[in-house]
Amino acid sequence: MDKEIVLQVKNLKTHFTTSKGTAKAVDGVDFTLHKGETLGIVGESGCGKSITSLSLLRLIPTPPGKIVAGEILLNNKDIVKMKEEELRKVRGNQLSMIFQEPMTSLNPIIPVGEQIAETIRLHQRLPRKQAWQKAVDLLEMVGLPSPEKRAKQEPFQLSGGMRQRVMIAMALACTPEVLIADEPTTALDVTIQAQILELMKDLQKQIGMSIIFITHDLGVVSEVCDQVAVMYAGQVVEHRNAKDLFKTPLHPYTQGLLASLPNIHENQQELQTIEGSVPSPYDYPIGCRFADRCPHARDICRAEAPDLIETGNSDTKVRCFMHTEKWETSVKEEELVCP
C-alpha cells in the first residue's frame, strides 16, 4: 500500500554561523510525509525540531542561519531551490504554519477577523466583503463561539485557547496541503489542549490535509500522529509508525525517553533517567551522537557514525548499529565508567 508522498525531506542541513563557530542545529534530517497523514517530530530542547520546521518554509534568518545542504520536495518541487516569488505562492497556499504562542504571531492592534481576511485577500484576490465573510465562516469552522462578534475583537480580548483557534483558522484560510504545527498546544491547559487536538483531527478529516506536528510531548504524539520522527542532536534517529514506536522503541534514545516519562496509570518507585547531557551543536562527536549516554555503546559507535536505515520493512527506519549486521561482529566495550 503505497500512499502518495506529499513532502519529502532529504539530508537537510541548517547551520548557524556565530562568533563561537558553526552550530549544526539541523544536521542531516530525513523524513517523509504522506497525504492525509500526521507526522510527529519529537525531541527535547535543542534537538533541532523547530529549526527543521522553519527550514521547511525557508523562514530561517539568514545570516546567521543557512540551509547548507539537502532537499525539501513538496510534490516533487524543491523548496530549497525556489526563488522568493515562487516561495510566496507556496507559503500559505500549500504549506502553512501555526506556532506555540499565538499572541506573538497575531497583530495585537488589528481585529482577528481582519487579519484572517487580509490573508484571504492576498492569496485569493477576493473582494473585501467576501473575504470578511469567509473569515467569519472559518472562525465558525474552528469552533469559536459567536464568530461574528469575536471577529471584530482584538487578540488580547480572547483567551489562549481562542487565540490558537484563530491561528488555526488563519492557517487553514487557503486550504493548504500541509500544515506545520510547531508546539501548538504546549502553552495551553490540558482541558483546552484536548479541545484543540480534537479540532485539528476533525479538520484534517474534513479538508484532507497532511500535518507535521512538532512537539516535545510524547503523550500528544501518541494521540494525534500516524508516523513519528524522533530527533536527537540535529538528526532523525528513529522514523516509524507511531503505534509500533510506542510499543517497541528501537533506538536506545527513544527507549530512554519513553522510560523517563512518569506514568499516570500506575505507581512507580523510581523514574529511569538518561545520564549525561546532549552534545554541543558546535562540536558533535565523530561517531554516534548518543554513544556517550547510551547503555549499549560499543567501540564501533564511537568510531563510525550510523546511518538512518530501514530495518524490517520500509516503514521502519532507525539510526543505530544495534540493528545492523555490524553489531554482531563488533567488540563489546568494557563496562562503562559511570559519570
Partner 1 sequence: MSVTTKLPILEVNNLKQYFSLKKETLLSPKQTVKAVDDISFKLFPGETLSIVGESGCGKSTTGRSILRLDEPTEGEVLFNGVNMTSLNKKELRNMRGDIQVIFQDPYASLNPRQTIRKMLQEAMTIQKVMPKEQMEARLLELMSLVGLRPEYLERYPHEFSGGQRQRIGIARALCVNPKVIICDEAVSALDVSIQAQIINLLKGMQRDLDLTFLFISHDLSVVRHISDRVIVMYLGTIVEIADKDSLFDSPSHPYTKALLSAIPSIDEQHKKDRIILKGDVPSPIDPPTGCRFHTRCPFATDHCKKEVPALRSLSETHQVACHYAESLLNGQVV
Contact window for partner 1 (CB under 8 A) among 63-71, 103-111, 127-135, 261-269: 261-269
Q: Point out which span in 26-34, 62-70, 204-212, 217-225 binds partner 1 (CB under 8 A).
A: 217-225
Spell 305-337 as b/e; 16+ CB within 10 A means b: bbebeeeeeeebbbbbbbbeeeeeebeeeeeee
**Which uninterrupted H or E stretch holds 186?**
none
| Residue 296: CB minimum distance to partner 1, A | 17
* Nearer to partner 1 among residue 104 and residue 191 (C-beta): 191
Binding test (CB under 8 A) with partner 1, winner from 219, 286, 313, 336: 219
Among 211, 220, 231, 250, binds partner 1 (CB under 8 A): 220
Q: For residue 320, give every residue at least 6 positions away whose Cβ sits within 8 Å of its Cβ, in sequence order, or none.
A: 237, 250, 251, 252, 288, 306
Q: What is the DSSP string of 124-162?
A: H---HHHHHHHHHHHHHHTT-SSHHHHHTS-GGGS-HHH
Smallest distance from partner 1 to CB 279, Å: 12
Q: Quick one: which of 257, 297, 308, 318 contacts partner 1 (CB under 8 A)?
A: 257
The nearest distance, CB 90 to partner 1, in angstroms, is 31
CB neighbours of 221 closer than 8 A, spacing ≥ 6?
Answer: 40, 42, 213, 215, 228, 242
Task: Output 134 or 240, the one with its CB closest to partner 1.
Answer: 240
Of 40, 65, 113, 161, which lies in the binding site for partner 1, with binding defined by CB under 8 A? 161
Calculate the CA 328 to chain-centre distance. 34
Q: Which residues pair with 222 in a beta bridge?
A: none
Residues 270-329 that bind partner 1 (CB under 8 A): 270-274, 277
Binding residues for partner 1, rule: CB under 8 A, are 44-45, 145, 159-162, 189-195, 197-198, 216-223, 243, 246, 256-258, 260-265, 267-268, 270-274, 277
